[in-house]
Structure 1
């Protein structure tokens, strides 16, 4: 095993400064959310507050990468707000789209800003290690990256550092390296295994009652005269689609503006334009619902949605725009796995998704640690019950 002392770390403040040629073996082992293009989007969305740490071994080979966001205040997406983790579990029922800031301030807890979060939009932690190393060495590399991230956070003046949306093994490695409390369940990615030849074969994977439910939602959708256009890229996204997203946010009491959503469109256009697929549902020529996903080979990651709640049969529009229309498109275009992100688990599980547990590790300020552990335990129990996971 390589001693941690033999690792060297380097910090970069922009993806464009990273030695991407040396990182290629690591990036090739990752997903769309680890790609330079997506990290450029995350940098733009964060206002330039994303930091990247690479790990080199004693031979000078690049064997690790972690990305860390500095969070200055509560104007950040709820999924990346450490303060929000200490909120009561029932307040986590937010819309699937992660497009607006949400305070998470909890009475009785001191402010946790600035803090640092190793996570990016899409409920993903960019934490890559040498794909050719054995399990023990990769654990050591994760530990070295975690310690380097905490050191950088301290330099940035952060009062807490969190690593969110990890698999269980990675979370344990980080907790061991930092000497924190055990990892906690923070969310679940919802995955749907595809590869069916047609929609009927997808329906065959569901129970009889759920098949009937989906068929009813498809009939109501068609009866309402609603049609769907699939857009490649962001060029037709505009104030009308932004208004749909804003209405969804307002329905759940989440702050947002048309201007901030339009900025997000521009950031997507500048970075991952080729991966964007938009499903726009229209009635009488007017958009009444939409969802947006990102394609990565045979994978489709659904990212956000919006709806006109004054339109007829909006609830049928919702399920078709978010689930069935992307599935229908995916069947025709070779998608083998769908990712519907976190939250609103009942609807996703009812439509065939499997919950994949995601864990977190946080280095809390000492005065907060005991209370945080108790609050997170209650939050985890609630989440496990919702997901149908064992205690």
Structure 2
């Protein structure tokens, strides 16, 4: 018989989880869960499953959002499902939320078998019921798993986006360029040449030691450009959280001109994989120098070729630009268990969200609403 328990901090289940998953990827590691605990300021919930012998057999991580003031885009149903975060009902009706994901838009849903997965989902649903909360299980990389999860809660699953990944299949930068389509080859060479001739200089740092006030300001400036309200102070707090938990995994690519930091890309190293974590730029100082593509693609690729990197995870979004530069798109799926007060509006909107995701990914549109 499988039993389940709920915990408020990763440290409470760290030893048992290490026995269940001794070598997890970075975004499922105890170090990363400690980061999530700090970043959510106590908002994480961990559902553990235990077998008859008392050994952990599964773990699911949830992030709780009490109201709109606590919402974070990647872990908020309203922001994920409705364009511009504008649902047809009052936003307060969509809180509280339990969102099964860890920072970095990843889903920690580890289980020994289907029975254990079902037990974890049932416990998550029961926890949502006690709070009258929406339950979302998102960023699932396998559609069969999404369908199984949806069936467990009597809901539909949906395609919600994709992870963009660039696999290294070449031995030098010229080989990377040669692997692209003709027009992309031309564009990459032009972007690289302009950056190198612009007076910008790249500096590479390991750990968060180089991430100070200017780096935080550049992050906030970029967010403001796209209408987000993040502050430099919030990014400084994020840098501190990274330093306290996964500092040894951080690599930073910085672009300077005349000693002034103009742009940066913060990455996380996970063995032979590099994850693009966050970026910040002062476009007024590098408007025509293709700083984004150089710091997110070309500089990490050049560095990675000398440091055993075999794959770059480039995040969820900006699909056409990343695809043109060689990235593949790995679909991601989600399930939402809607309370009665928002159920009809939510289910219809989730189908529309899938149609938009399919258009973004260049996939055929759904002919019918899919039900679990």
Q: What is the match of residue 376 of structure 1?
A: 350
Normalising by structure 2, report the TM-score.
0.93
Q: What is the match of residue 370 of structure 2?
A: none
Provide the rounded CA distance (Å) in 1 between the counterparts of 2:341 and 2:237. 38
Q: What is the match of residue 135 of structure 1?
A: none
Provide the rounded CA distance (Å) in 2 between the counterparts of 1:256 and 1:81. 16
Matching residue within 16, 41, 46 for 2:40: 46
Q: Deviations over 1:286-328 (max 9, x none)?
A: 1111011100101111010000011133550111011111111
Count of residues paired in the alignment: 362
Provide the rounded CA distance (Å) in 2 between the counterparts of 1:357 and 1:29. 24
Provide the rounded CA distance (Å) in 2 between the counterparts of 1:8 and 1:37. 25
How far the C-alpha of 1:175 sits from its partner, in A, is 0.8
Q: Deviations over 1:184-230 (max 9, x none)?
A: 11121101111531111111221111011100000000110111111
Any residues of structure 2 matched to 1:82-121 within 5 Å, and which? Answer: 82-88=77-83, 91=84, 104-111=85-92, 112-121=94-103
Provide the rounded CA distance (Å) in 2 between the counterparts of 1:73 and 1:62. 32
- Specify the SS of the correspondent of 1:128: strand
1:265 lines up with 2:259 in the alignment: no
- Uncovered stretches (5+) of structure 2, i.e. residues with no partner: 366-372
Q: What is the match of residue 243 of structure 1?
A: 217
How far the C-alpha of 1:25 sits from its partner, in A, is 4.6
1:215 lines up with 2:192 in the alignment: no
Whether the 8 Å contact between 1:249 and 1:255 is mirrored in structure 2 is: yes
Any residues of structure 2 matched to 1:171-190 within 5 Å, and which? Answer: 171-180=146-155, 182-190=156-164
Provide the rounded CA distance (Å) in 1 between the counterparts of 2:246 and 2:357. 32
1:200 lines up with 2:192 in the alignment: no
How far the C-alpha of 1:59 sits from its partner, in A, is 2.8
- Higher deviation after alignment, 197-206 or 211-220: 197-206
Any residues of structure 2 matched to 1:1-391 within 5 Å, and which? Answer: 6-18=1-13, 20-28=14-22, 30-74=24-68, 75-88=70-83, 91=84, 104-111=85-92, 112-130=94-112, 138-155=113-130, 157-167=131-141, 168-180=143-155, 182-314=156-288, 316-391=290-365
- Specify the SS of the correspondent of 1:237: coil
Alpha carbons of 1:223 and 1:315: their partners in 2 closer, same or farther (altered >3 Å)? closer
How far the C-alpha of 1:108 sits from its partner, in A, is 2.8
Q: What is the match of residue 133 of structure 1?
A: none
Provide the rounded CA distance (Å) in 2 between the counterparts of 1:158 and 1:272. 34
How far the C-alpha of 1:364 sits from its partner, in A, is 0.5
Whether the 8 Å contact between 2:3 and 2:51 is mirrored in structure 1 is: yes
How far the C-alpha of 1:29 sits from its partner, in A, is 5.7
Normalising by structure 1, report the TM-score.
0.89
CA RMSD in angstroms, aligned pairs only: 1.5
Whether the 8 Å contact between 1:116 and 1:160 is mirrored in structure 2 is: yes
- Specify the SS of the correspondent of 1:310: helix
Alpha carbons of 1:314 and 1:236: their partners in 2 closer, same or farther (altered >3 Å)? farther
Whether the 8 Å contact between 1:247 and 1:309 is mirrored in structure 2 is: no
Provide the rounded CA distance (Å) in 1 between the counterparts of 2:135 and 2:286. 46
- Uncovered stretches (5+) of structure 1, i.e. residues with no partner: 1-5, 92-103, 131-137
How far the C-alpha of 1:386 sits from its partner, in A, is 1.4
- Higher deviation after alignment, 161-170 or 371-380: 371-380
Provide the rounded CA distance (Å) in 1 between the counterparts of 2:129 and 2:194. 55
Provide the rounded CA distance (Å) in 1 between the counterparts of 2:144 and 2:108. 15
Q: What is the match of residue 369 of structure 2?
A: none
